Structure 1
Amino acid sequence: MKNFDSKSGFSSDSRTFHSLRPPVHLPPPHSPLSASHYALSLHLKSPWSDSVTALVDSASGHRVSFSEFIHSSQTLASNLQSLVRLSKGDTAFVLSPNLVKVPILYFALLSLGVVVSPANPISTPAEISHLFQLSSPAIAFSTSSTAHKLPHNLLRLGVILLDSPEFDSLMTTTTTKPAVPLVEVSQSDLAAILYSSGTTGKVKGVMLTHRNLIALAASYDATRSQRERPAVFLYTIPYFHVYGFTYSLRSVVLSETVVLMERFRMEKMLKAVDEFRVTHLAVAPPVVVAMAKGDVTDGYDLSSLEGIACGAAPLGKDAAAAFKSKFPRVVIVQGYGLTETTASICRTTGEAETIKTGTTGKLIAGVEAKIVDPDTGLAMFPGQEGELWLRGPSIAKGYVGDPEANSATFVDGWLRTGDLCYIDHQGYLYVVDRLKELIKYKGYQVAPAELENLLHSHSQIKDAAVIPYPDEEAGQVPMAFVVRQPQSSLSEADVIDFIAKQVSAYKKIRRVLFVSSIPKNAGGKILRKDLSKFALHQSISKL
């Protein structure tokens, strides 16, 4: 390896930043190993017995111990293989809210070499139909409240409801066959297809391999801290999101107790922290913002809280400072990651890093980064801004069935993130802006082009553009600029309602401004920054 600066990790020869973390020793890449089996092997390092709680349903108080979790996932895998006839290489579509059964299902499917493909349960039937085209699932696991959205005729092995006696039987009924299915899974095999909005408005299916997940699990193991008792993590994050999906592995690797909420409500979350003595929260920034405000936390005993893992979108300096002022003993751990990086690829670790504001931390072990000038393509030096490129064992295999996007995003082993960043002289990553045009609403990704296409389909709309508008609670909300057709009397409410009927709740347009034209460059590309400045100016003018 070429020499690099011991403080920033930067090599002036290759203009590449290297991780400053201690190296993580991964299993040989060609040895057969599934991500679930690797996570369970790391779980054996736990100083506690498997009688400790793995999962808690915050609503019912129902608990599952690690021994029950492991036994249920192995029994389920055996029955899915022998009774349902699921086999290696099949894809399983999962459409469910956060339930205790979901991580049990994930581990069972991964051990069989079945590709896990979870989706947002509030997706519309039309959105789900598109996801089916990407992943071609053989089976779907759903709930009685979401199953009606699925195109049943496209599923070779049908639909199994997680809230049914059938699924309970599959988890508990042992046969004469061995509990642990004998399936040889290669680390290069596909483990999951997770869905991510692309800049073109098309949802992409991100292909993650078992090796990707193994690399992430190893990085969790490398930062394992010594504790007297297991950490108690409350998940407000959904299991279908890369954040929640990878945390289902993390909790097993680190033997953490997970408290689950089926649907997020601030009051229910605070009650659960109090009731279950939660030590850590896994949240998106809007939760941190809300907790820091007013009297929302009054009346709850939050003294058990030690830390907050904040991800899925950037947390502002002011919000972090306000939270620390109110909860001085609670450590905020920030990270940076994408679906394409198998979640967190950059983290703040240890007190010295977590007290630094504005940064998402340092590169995890085994990762390299470049900051590339988007105009010249030249790699930049520490402190200079450019597009962040990443390389390492947790970088996704690519997008399913999308060669055009693959060639644009994955270049010679590097992932082009589309994010404008810089790495300082101490190796800390700072995310300045997104070159991508995604809107981050409460951690969800919303593609402006998807909403623009819908707006353009309205007979009274001549032209339209959608931008992210800053919002203290949500982070960003979709705002539409609309050019009406001549003689049209279309109102803001009409536009909002038109879109709301066609998309999931988080994609709804929240603000509308009528304009005479949409600013564009010579190539016809919308000048979104001009629109953003105009929107903020209009807002200030009204104050």
Structure 2
Amino acid sequence: MVVQWKRRCDSNHLGHFFVDYMRRRANEICQIDAATGQEETCASVLSRSIRLAQCFRKFGLVPGDTIVIGGKNHLDVHIPFYAAMMNGLPVGGLDPAHKCNELKHLFTLIKPKIAFCEYQMFEEYKNAIQELNISTNIVTFGGGENSLVKFMEDHRASQREDEFQVATFNTDEVYCWLVGTSGSTGQQKIVALTHPHLFQMTEFYSYKEPKNGERKTALNSSTLLWITGCFNALLMPINHVKLQSSAPVTTEHIIDIINKYKPGGTLCTPTALAPILHHEKHCDLTCFDVIKTGGTKVHKELLANLKARMRPDAVIQQGYGLSETGGLVMEQRPEDPIESVGTLDPKYEAKLISPETGKEILEPNVTGELIVRGPTMACYYNDPEETKNVFTEDGYLKTGDLFYKDEHGYYYFVERLKMLLKYKSYQVIPPEVEEVILKHPGVADVCVTGVPHRDDGEHVVACVVRRPGHRVTANDIKELVAKHLSSFKHLHGGVVFMDALPTTVSGKVARIEVKKLALTAHKE
């Protein structure tokens, strides 16, 4: 089936799109859980999604009401997502391991009517809701009295599935996806995307129909926390079987999945690819027709090693985009320079701005901050002030990323201007970790930075100044972070104790200097 995006009429939205192609593929496999070997047809996925959409309506949800989903990649996790698309309910994707403090911040912004989570995380969600004193219903994946099965039994609709009508609403006003990002202050923000946003950004994320007509698997390693997880859930089943796993995503497990199921395509970060190439267990990458990658700098060595392991006719495709743009703004073609992220999508305008002077850079091969504007720019949900801060007066988004452009118009990613750290495919906001560490009575000051790691991108390091007379240890700091924050924010790089943090002439912590010191300092 060839999807003609530009032929979608304005009255249709992602809910119509989902129902249409699932009916066309009714008897074919839609998704596989590689951890259990379970398979599910498109007809079954559509039936369960419609029944849950009916339950949402009986529960009292109307277009514009929000839900959040924090689940592992089992066969149930996308059912609430599909049901929400059909009803015009904005969906916020959460990390399955988010804890109470993290949930409280996100719930304050999103204000969900229903929160879906793993059974084991019920108490974290319950505590967050109680501390905020909000009315949010918890539905768990797995057992318990709050299970998804119980929710559907309690709100069973009398309407037959074949009588179900997809909701109608203004697609320019009703959001479909609420995805977390950093914001200019370092505090996590929620980017709000409409149905037209996602319709316009589907080309890079969709996987073309195989030339021989064979419907291969496509590997989805993203949870609904990421915008890629949203696109994968919607687009993979069009021409491929969505292959994912409810088990912990270790490198060895991914290698086993690839060797067994032979996926034809995937979308993942370079930090996910590097450990596969370096692992002692061989991974047969000749099955891939295309591997799409981005999200951080892709080094030439990795690209060369990856290409050598794939078929000569296979494609490695880089792209660059942000949650705030609704997805991709640059896309690499096979003939483009291997280290570039391609050229700017014609829908967008972009400039490179000197961080020192604030003036536009017009010369080739000179690095500056990328600012971009176009038709899919998104706002921060329930935060007009932060939305205003991140855009220029003439409507350009300040990306916080450094690029240069060569004389042929190809863009090259250099580094992040922002202070974000990148652990695997996760963004770590240093002030969030610092805030937790500063709660310890033995800590006078702290600066969180990162040290390079071959496979993981960066490992988080805490540079700590002890309070006089206190004997706080590195293990004390690590345990404190582990107790309050998700695993990707843990101090994998260790703790460095300092007498004082270096500062700039204005009295601020000199983060660049701290990073240099952390590279060579003794880490406990």
**Which TM-score band (shorter chain)?**
0.7 to 0.9
CA deviations over 1:317-358 (Å, ceiling 9, x no partner) = 222223333445453222222221223332223x223xx333
CA deviations over 1:508-538 (Å, ceiling 9, x no partner) = 1232222222222233332222222233344
Distance (whole Å) between structure 1 residues aligned to residue 88 and residue 243 of structure 2: 27
The match for 2:318 is 334
Out of 366, 372, 391, which is 2:373 matched to? Answer: 391
The match for 1:513 is 496
Q: Displacement of 1:233 after TM fit?
A: 1.0
Instruction: Say if 2:430 is the partner of 1:445.
Output: no
Higher relative contact order (CA 8 A, sep 6+): 1
Compute the RMSD of aligned alpha carbons: 2.9
Asked whether the equivalents of residues 56 and 257 of structure 1 are also in contact (C-alpha less than 8 Å), the reply is yes
Out of 277, 293, 307, which is 1:310 matched to? Answer: 293
Distance (whole Å) between structure 1 residues aligned to residue 210 and residue 346 of structure 2: 16
Distance (whole Å) between structure 1 residues aligned to residue 317 and residue 235 of structure 2: 15
Asked whether the equivalents of residues 266 and 292 of structure 2 are also in contact (C-alpha less than 8 Å), the reply is yes
Higher mean alpha-carbon deviation, 265-274 vs 89-98, is at 265-274
Asked whether the equivalents of residues 391 and 413 of structure 1 are also in contact (C-alpha less than 8 Å), the reply is yes
SS of aligned partner of 1:313:
coil
The match for 2:189 is 204
Q: Displacement of 1:86 after TM fit?
A: 1.5
Distance (whole Å) between structure 2 residues aligned to residue 454 and residue 277 of structure 1: 43
Distance (whole Å) between structure 2 residues aligned to residue 426 and residue 224 of structure 1: 31
CA deviations over 1:12-42 (Å, ceiling 9, x no partner) = xxxxxxxxxxx984757xx33323324556x
1:378-457 equivalent positions in 2, closer than 5 A = 378-381=359-362, 382-396=364-378, 398-411=379-392, 412-457=394-439
1:36-75 equivalent positions in 2, closer than 5 A = 36-38=15-17, 43=21, 49-75=25-51
The match for 1:320 is 303
Asked whether the equivalents of residues 468 and 479 of structure 1 are also in contact (C-alpha less than 8 Å), the reply is yes
SS of aligned partner of 1:296:
coil
Letter in 2 for 1:70: L
SS of aligned partner of 1:217:
coil
CA deviations over 1:282-311 (Å, ceiling 9, x no partner) = 3222321112115222xx655423332223
SS of aligned partner of 1:422:
strand
1:224-373 equivalent positions in 2, closer than 5 A = 226=211, 228-252=213-237, 254-262=238-246, 263-297=248-282, 302-327=285-310, 329=312, 330-349=314-333, 351-353=334-336, 356-373=337-354
Superposition TM-score, scaled by structure 2 size: 0.87
Distance (whole Å) between structure 2 residues aligned to residue 236 and residue 222 of structure 1: 15
Q: Displacement of 1:100 after TM fit?
A: 2.1
Superposition TM-score, scaled by structure 1 size: 0.85
Q: Displacement of 1:220 after TM fit?
A: 5.0
Distance (whole Å) between structure 2 residues aligned to residue 422 and residue 224 of structure 1: 34
How many residues align? The count is 505
Q: Displacement of 1:374 after TM fit?
A: 2.5
SS of aligned partner of 2:302:
helix
The match for 2:486 is 504
Asked whether the equivalents of residues 86 and 167 of structure 2 are also in contact (C-alpha less than 8 Å), the reply is no
Q: Displacement of 1:416 after TM fit?
A: 0.9
What are the ranges of 5 or more consecutive residues in structure 2 without an aligned counterpart?
none
Distance (whole Å) between structure 1 residues aligned to residue 342 and residue 491 of structure 2: 33
SS of aligned partner of 1:205:
strand
Change (3 A) 1:181 1:222: closer
Instruction: Say if 2:351 is the partner of 1:375.
Output: no
1:212-223 equivalent positions in 2, closer than 5 A = 212-217=197-202, 220=205
The match for 1:33 is 12
Instruction: Say if 2:476 is the partner of 1:494.
Output: yes
Instruction: Say if 2:63 is the partner of 1:79.
Output: no
Distance (whole Å) between structure 2 residues aligned to residue 376 and residue 444 of structure 1: 31
Instruction: Say if 2:140 is the partner of 1:140.
Output: no
Distance (whole Å) between structure 2 residues aligned to residue 324 and residue 222 of structure 1: 19
CA deviations over 1:193-250 (Å, ceiling 9, x no partner) = 2122345342111111122111112565697774522342111221221121222222
Distance (whole Å) between structure 1 residues aligned to residue 521 and residue 505 of structure 2: 26
SS of aligned partner of 1:102:
coil
Change (3 A) 1:227 1:477: farther
Q: Displacement of 1:158 after TM fit?
A: 1.7
| Residue identity (%) | 26
1:180-195 equivalent positions in 2, closer than 5 A = 180-195=165-180
Distance (whole Å) between structure 1 residues aligned to residue 7 and residue 134 of structure 2: 36
Higher mean alpha-carbon deviation, 147-156 vs 361-370, is at 147-156
Q: Displacement of 1:256 after TM fit?
A: 2.1
Out of 79, 97, 100, which is 2:75 matched to? Answer: 100
Asked whether the equivalents of residues 78 and 180 of structure 1 are also in contact (C-alpha less than 8 Å), the reply is no
Distance (whole Å) between structure 2 residues aligned to residue 74 and residue 364 of structure 1: 36
The match for 2:515 is 532
What are the ranges of 5 or more consecutive residues in structure 1 without an aligned counterpart?
1-22
Distance (whole Å) between structure 1 residues aligned to residue 405 and residue 123 of structure 2: 47
Distance (whole Å) between structure 2 residues aligned to residue 242 and residue 387 of structure 1: 23
